[in-house]
Amino acid sequence: MKKANFSFIDLFAGIGGFHLGLKKIGGRCVYVSEWDKYSATTYGTWYSNTAVDSRDIRKIDINRDIPKHDLLAGGFPCQPFSLAGVSKKNSMGLKHGFDDLKQGNLFVQICKIIKVHQPKVVFLENVKNLVSHDHGRTWMTIQSKLNNLDYEVYWKIIDASSWVPQHRERIYIVAFRRKSFTKKEMKNFKFPKVRKQNPILRDVLDHKPIKKYMLTDNLWKYLVAYAEKHKSLGNGFGFTLANPKGQSRTLSARYYKDGSEILIKQKGWRNPRRISPSEAARLMGFDDSWGKKLGNGFPQVVSDTQAYRQFGNAVCPHVVQAIGSEIVRVLLARKARISR
């Protein structure tokens, strides 16, 4: 795999899924923005040579605080557009999408940064529901804004299950600045092909699970009753006992509440257990090899609750690296043309 030396900024950075994936293909992070103090703590520990700007990104001075960069990366907040987020806001009579006063207009801030710094490449991630939200109007608006900023937009919904043992469909958006690339260079960009050999859950599970992650009797009883109730109503709501020889459901930010989406049956244990934060890390791809405990590069420096939230909100670094490798091909083609 060829590498290219390029600079990037990491917006709505979480715990650095973009950082890890882009660093492996030659990227150099020059600015990080993450306003959640717990995620900023994790990020600052894992990537100690990169300062984290934890201010509201809408209040920073774009010209002064953000340096020039080749690539803008960002997993902008998905709650205003996700199925669960929209459903919750509707039930509470709250606005969602771009009308979400707290998070919905953060894409607009990305556009302001793009307009000022004009990076060669924009690389974004969000939930797949972004495409269908508000009958497709949200996605049309995003594409229109990027086009108006003179960027050629490519997008694809990719399931991370080719790289990690969970089904995790997300939309990935890659946009090239038209003035930086030729039409041929941009058209040569292709999203990575889905691999046939998918990893399995057993590969990332702890060899000696800790019993504190076993569900309490009361919680297990509640989850069983909840599932039976919804089964009688003809829908599929309920817990999932994951198959270690297969793949899990999507790890969500709410996993800390009951762990119901991914439960592991354990021999000799009364009730199934949650996956541990270390297993959640490996499930997301924050480890260099399958089946091993986290190394010194990824220590847990927050509570279990915050760790589950962080991994559930994270971008899968393996997918970032795979897409980034295709971006690098375009960057290298441009570099070769300019150097001739």
- Tell me which residues are annotated as active site: 78
CA distance 246 to 117: 44
- From the list 144, 181, 198, 210, the residue with the least C-alpha distance to 331 is 181
Residue appearing with tokens 């670094």: 317
What would the two tokens of residue 77 be? 């907040």
Residue 278: which of 308, 251, 320 has the closest Cα? 308
Chain centre distance of CA 33 = 15
* CA–CA separation, 115 and 107 (whole Å): 12
Which pair of tokens denotes residue 157?
A: 């919904």
Strand partners, 27: 6
Q: How many CB atoms lie within 10 A of CB 274?
A: 24
CA neighbor of 184 nearest in space, from 337, 325, 6 = 337
Query: 304-313 and 37-46 helices cross at what angle (nearest 10)?
Result: 80
Phi, psi of 331 (to 5 degrees): -65, -40
Query: What backbone torsions phi and psi does residue 12 show, to the nearest 5 degrees?
Result: 50, 55
Rounded-to-integer distance, Cα 321 and Cα 24, Å: 7
Is the CB of residue 254 less than 8 Å from the CB of residue 305? no
For every residue of 278-324, DSSP letters joined together read HHHHHHHT-SSSTTS---TTS---S-HHHHHHHHHH---HHHHHHHH
What are the structure tokens assigned to 102, written together?
Answer: 């707290």
In terms of Cβ atoms closer than 10 Å to its own Cβ (0-12, 13-18, 19+), residue 193 is: exposed
